[in-house]
Amino acid sequence: MSTTPALSCTDRGIYCAAGDFYIDPWRPVDHALITHGHADHARSGHRSYLASHAALPVMKHRLGAITTQGIAFGELLQIGGATVSFHPAGHVPGSAQIRVEVAGEVWVASGDYKTENDGLSESFEPQRCHHFITESTFGLPVFRWQPQTKVATDLNAWWAACAQAGKTAFLGAYALGKAQRLMTMLDGDIGPILTHGAVESTNKVLRSQGLALPNTVPVTPDTNPKEHKSALVLAPPSALGSKWARKFGPQETAFASGWMQLRGVRRRRAGDRGFVISDHADWDGLLSAIKFTGAENIYVTHGYTDIFARYLNENGWKAQVVPTEFEGETLDTEVTG
């Protein structure tokens, strides 16, 4: 096995010297390998982009005219002295873990991932490796998710109650991944699903790839709320409570995020409801993924990095925090799902 690490962290991003490429770089580089299309991982300004075939359409939609190459999940690609392959991360449609092998040393950069199969994204496929770079967005024991079916039951009960009270239900969700996942959980018999332009434009891209999404009605300046009784409106969190939303009259608002697990966050957001659902792994998901890799060395990025790395070190792994510019899941920006 090589004594030189196959991957290292630089001021531009995670770098592979053997292949002269970066993974999810946050500064402009010549060769960028991208795990998925969220803005904190797929940034503009790179000379060339390599991503899964399923991730590229959204990336092109977001970034415009970029030079790209697609790769199938599981396909082996030789880049200089590195053998590279992409494997499903389960985060959002097209999201990948990137496996890099150099002189017998195997690294896996997970990007963002979740271990629960959401029925929309490609299911997470853990990879055996020597070194694993993991996120820790929700790296505290308090973060443990309910099954998606349970969240769907609660969500639809809230929507039905809003409809019965003559109110429009507003649900805050990120335009890529979370919004589409929620759509597949909604009971369309309650009423129509209306969408903010940011959500609908992403729907259009994903539908063109063959993803089966429920019928939605885009909200336009001409939309008359009275013609859409019992509606649920899916919009970015920043749109809730805005002038755009107020034209719908009586309404209730809800946020869908892993952060809704924390009572203080629910209070600060001032929504009527909070649904705990995330496109990131919870505490148990993080640990199960790490255990499966068999990796002795764990590199912890964005989230509760210090706490999570300390736990790993106390429980048999060699873990260290790796500083990056990934942002994880937030409630105020459009960076993630």
pLDDT in tens, 286-308: 999 999 999 999 999 999 999 99
Distance CA 77, CA 152 (A): 40
Residue 261 reports pLDDT greater than 70 = yes
Name the band, by pLDDT with cuts 50, 70 and 90, for residue 318: very high
Mean pLDDT in residue range 251-279: 85
Instruction: For residue 66, give the nearest of 99, 44, 89, 93 by alpha carbon.
Output: 44
Whether the predicted pLDDT of 331 surpasses 60: no
Domain range 8-142+280-321, CATH architecture: 4-Layer Sandwich (3.60)
- pTM for the predicted model, two decimal places: 0.93
In whole angstroms, what is the distance from residue 169 CA to residue 174 CA? 16
What SS3 class is residue 203? helix
> Crossing angle for the helix pair 197-208 and 56-63, nearest 10 degrees?
140
Structure tokens at 19: 């292949």
Nearest C-alpha neighbor of 24 from the set 16, 39, 35, 10: 35
Q: What is the pLDDT of residue 1?
A: 46
The C-alpha atoms of residue 187 and residue 260 are separated, in whole angstroms, by: 22
- What was the pLDDT predicted at 264? 72
CA distances from 276 to 116, 142, 157, 182 (A): 14, 12, 15, 12
pLDDT mean over 155-161: 98
All structural domains of the chain with their residue ranges: 8-142+280-321, 148-275
Structure tokens at 242: 């805005």
**How large is the average pLDDT for residues 163-180?**
95
Confidence of residue 268 (pLDDT cuts 50, 70, 90): low
Q: What proportion of the chain, given as a percentage, has pLDDT over 70?
A: 95
Query: Is the predicted pLDDT of residue 333 greater than 60, yes or no?
Result: no
Residue with tokens 């770098």, as numbered in its chain: 15
Q: Can you give the pLDDT at residue 212?
A: 93
- pLDDT tens readout for residues 114-151: 999 999 999 999 999 999 999 999 999 999 999 999 99
CA distance 286 to 184: 25
> Nearest 5°: CA angle at 136, between 40 and 69?
40
At residue 266 the predicted structure's pLDDT band, cuts being 50, 70 and 90, is: low
User: Could you tell me the pLDDT band of residue 335, with boundaries at 50, 70 and 90?
Assistant: very low
Residue 336 has pLDDT above 60, yes or no: no
Q: Which residues touch 293 (CB under 8 Å, ≥6 apart)?
A: 108, 126, 127, 128, 129, 132
Could you tell me the fold of the domain covering 148-275?
Answer: Rossmann fold (3.40.50)
Confidence grade of residue 337 (pLDDT, cut at 50, 70, 90): very low
In the predicted model, is pLDDT for residue 109 greater than 70? yes
pLDDT of residue 69 exceeding 90, the answer is yes
pLDDT tens for 185-207 read 999 999 999 999 999 999 999 99
Amino acid residing at 72:
A
